[in-house]
Structure 1
Amino acid sequence: MDDSMHANESPPTQRLASLDVYRGVTMLLLAFTVPNWGWQEPIADAHPWLRPLAEQFEHATWRGMTLWDLIQPSFMFMVGVSLPYSLASRKRRGAMQASLWRHAATRAVALILLGVFLRSIGRDETNWTLEDVVSQIGLGYLPLFWLATRGPREQGIAIALLLTATWLLYALWPIPTDDELVVEHFSGFWAHWNEHVGPGVAFDRWLLNLPPRSTPFVVNEGGYYTLNFLPSLATMTLGLLAGQQMKSDRTAGAKLAWLTAWGVGLLAFGLALDAVGVCPLVKKVWTPSFALASGGLCLVILAVFYAILDVGGWRRGAEPATVVGRNPLAMYVMTWTIASWVLMNLTTHLGDDLFFVFGAPYAPLLGNLAVGTVLWLFCCWMDRNRVYVRL
């Protein structure tokens, strides 16, 4: 995840304000929505006409895609975008190939363990699970690093192979007929992508029971799997392709055209796979259709930010997101470690009434906004003092 930091170490002409802002906006969306989980429900209950909007701040139940579902693909996509800058920076400082590989391996292990740590907070024992976004990035990081040493053709082939292999693995996997834990969202051919069905759950029932546990692992209650890192590696590789385009000597117009054309094309392709029945669009198992559609949206979002900030030079109002985007790992860790503590202390010292000023339905949202503001102020202090969290 820290590769994104190194984009700022390249020469001034190579700095991408768009990447900082994209990272910052993504992290702020997380920070302003996590502390009071489910904050949108009271608002939607009070104002039913707002429910379609409120549903954008929660994962789709199974099939479909919401705004919240774009957070993890954006994380992973931007790791890929940043990698060419990171490699160029380290090579300019004299790093040899062996040193680069050691650093990549260390980072991969650190990210995997960081995800385990974050998922273990508040538990009585280590929660050996690997579906957290940073763990997923760590699992795919060494293959991504190897792909960064190859050309665009090989990278494109890798994306196609990863998604095709994932589709075949699920499509050919036997559908259980006697597993009471299966949640049937689909029937017919799409039953291969029902919740708690397929190679993902089978692999986790083997892998996650290898470490010592007080109770055996059976299923992930959210429907996420370790094997999601394979199709999400395709998302990171798509980001790698985009990063190489952005770092190239092509004109700004050519870069924008590439980002937009591929973004719209992949979005349409992913949605079409879902529409014609080839593969349902499901974020929680990172189906190929979801990887394509969400990756296409990431390309379009980056294109919009690039056009406004890097090409148009419009930076006014971007600094609040930029300070977070320069320290993304710090914001991510703070969101999952101290956000609840910040909310508790705000309530203790300022009282509950502060958050009920607009009525009970809005109290959880106001609490989230207050916590997000505090975490943002931490990032501002860290940026001013040049304190950056790196792995």
Structure 2
Amino acid sequence: MLLMMGEVLRFGAVSKALPESSFWALLDWHQSHVDWVGCSLHDLIQPSFSFLVGVALPYSVASRATKQQSRQMMWFHTIRRSLILILLGIFLRSMHSTQTNFTFEDTLTQIGLGYPFLFALGFAGKRTQWIALSVILIGYWLFFALYPLPGLYFDWTETGVTADWPHHLKGFAAHWNKNTNAAWAFDRWFMNIFPRENVFRFNGGGYSTLSFIPTLGTMILGLIAGQWLRSTPSSGWFIKRVMITSAILFVTALALDILGINPIVKRIWTPAWTLFSGGWCFLFLGIFYFLVDVKQNQKWFYPLVVIGTNSIAAYIIAHTIDSFIDQSFRINISPQYDTIFGLPYRTLVSGTVILLVEWLILRWMYTKKLFIRI
């Protein structure tokens, strides 16, 4: 959530103003999504969010069980939560539009689409969960692998990319190229079911609705981690298990990518990406668990706790009031308040102000015990 909220710092603008600086170029790269294959720090925001949904599920189910809530009521709450997430994602993507923007590749909608399946798996055994994960990843791999590659007379104007786009993959890996794949073909049908200003032809970023299926795989990995965490016999046992799992996921994903079997592409959430990002999620979970729970350094992470305990509120605030905060300072302080350190650093100043005000709002909610839950 902090990385997402931190987008207002706009390191890219600073890097553009200081083109000779490799420092700002590096920060810009890690605050941007990679063009296609690979991974930046920014690319790990969505899988981390999805992973933690899975981690939290065993605790949520256990809490409801202690309140004597029936399975039927749990399912009612699950379906309601799923619908709210989907509709909230559509609402946020429709802001500043002339009509409802029916789109389903947003983080919230992706989680909402997969959440009922995750909930069902929450009552299954470990073996069933691993089998479900395998079926999802292998099935989704086949879905792309069996879709035909563009032919000689393929109309590239329908894809938003050119035939010589430098990030196109070659050989068998070309089945996972931007807007020429199976998920793109599905959206050219599915997205046009809904009212639109113009016929849907492609997503400019290459994102797709069906990515919720492998995203469910990420949530299953989180579910497994959450069950380990809740039932761990010792801190050492848990850390050892998540680190080994992380290493296995990294090695498997990199092997798939290097051998050309499946590339690591976040934008279409390839099976290799599910494994690769899952490796990072297990690694992060293990590190933070060690620092916070084992070493008892909770005070260090208070700023993150303020944000994390109100993640939905943080997500909405970051997408709605950033420009309002900025304009308020320009009206009431100075139209050039962000030039105090010079023109190249304008976005750092305005972004820091926005980020601080948003955090103070969340801190006020935290101290008043106002938590937005779905």
TM-score (norm 2): 0.94
* Other structure's SS at 1:208 match: helix
Say if 1:254 and 1:52 are closer, same or farther in 2 by CA, change over 3 A: same
Structure with greater contact order relative to length (CA < 8 Å, sep ≥ 6): 1
Shift of 1:28: 1.2
Is the Cα contact below 8 Å between 2:12 and 2:24 reproduced in 1? no
Q: Does 1:159 align with 2:142?
A: no
Give the corresponding residue for 1:176: 150
Distance 1:303 1:357 in 2: 41
Give the corresponding residue for 1:199: 182
Distance 2:339 2:294 in 1: 43
Identity fraction in percent: 40
Match of 2:116, as an amino acid? L
Match of 2:103, as an amino acid? T
Say if 1:36 and 1:345 are closer, same or farther in 2 by CA, change over 3 A: farther
Distance 1:129 1:351 in 2: 38
Q: Is 269-278 or 133-142 further displaced after alignment?
A: 269-278
Say if 1:171 and 1:73 are closer, same or farther in 2 by CA, change over 3 A: same
Distance 2:268 2:307 in 1: 29
Alignment of 1:1-391 (within 5 A): 27-34=1-8, 36=10, 38-42=12-16, 45-48=19-22, 50-177=24-151, 178-180=154-156, 181-182=158-159, 183=161, 184=165, 185-391=168-374
Say if 1:48 and 1:318 are closer, same or farther in 2 by CA, change over 3 A: closer
TM-score (norm 1): 0.90
Distance 2:128 2:203 in 1: 34
Shift of 1:362: 1.4
Cα deviations by residue, 1:203-238 (Å, 9 ceiling, x for unpaired): 111111112222111111111000000111000000
- Which runs of 4 or more aligned residues in structure 1 lie more than 6 Å from their structure 2 counterparts after TM superposition? none
Say if 1:44 and 1:160 are closer, same or farther in 2 by CA, change over 3 A: farther
Structure 1: state its 5+ residue gaps.
1-26
Say if 1:44 and 1:167 are closer, same or farther in 2 by CA, change over 3 A: farther
Match of 1:173, as an amino acid? Y
Cα deviations by residue, 1:125-174 (Å, 9 ceiling, x for unpaired): 00000000000000000000001010111111111111111111111101
* Other structure's SS at 2:207 match: coil
Match of 1:195, as an amino acid? K
Structure 2: state its 5+ residue gaps.
none
Match of 1:179, as an amino acid? D
Is the Cα contact below 8 Å between 1:264 and 1:297 reproduced in 2? no
Distance 1:215 1:37 in 2: 33
* Other structure's SS at 1:150 match: coil
Distance 1:390 1:284 in 2: 28
Is the Cα contact below 8 Å between 1:111 and 1:135 reproduced in 2? yes
Is the Cα contact below 8 Å between 2:8 and 2:347 reproduced in 1? no
Number of residue pairs matched by the alignment: 365
* Other structure's SS at 2:124 match: coil
The Cα RMSD (Å) is 1.5
Is the Cα contact below 8 Å between 2:12 and 2:25 reproduced in 1? no
Shift of 1:37: 8.2
Distance 1:35 1:329 in 2: 21
Is the Cα contact below 8 Å between 1:327 and 1:388 reproduced in 2? yes
Distance 2:88 2:78 in 1: 15
Is the Cα contact below 8 Å between 2:250 and 2:276 reproduced in 1? yes
Distance 1:219 1:34 in 2: 27
Match of 1:79, as an amino acid? V
* Other structure's SS at 1:316 match: helix
Is the Cα contact below 8 Å between 2:32 and 2:43 reproduced in 1? yes
Shift of 1:99: 0.4
Distance 1:341 1:41 in 2: 25
Match of 2:367, as an amino acid? R
Say if 1:35 and 1:349 are closer, same or farther in 2 by CA, change over 3 A: farther
* Other structure's SS at 1:161 match: helix
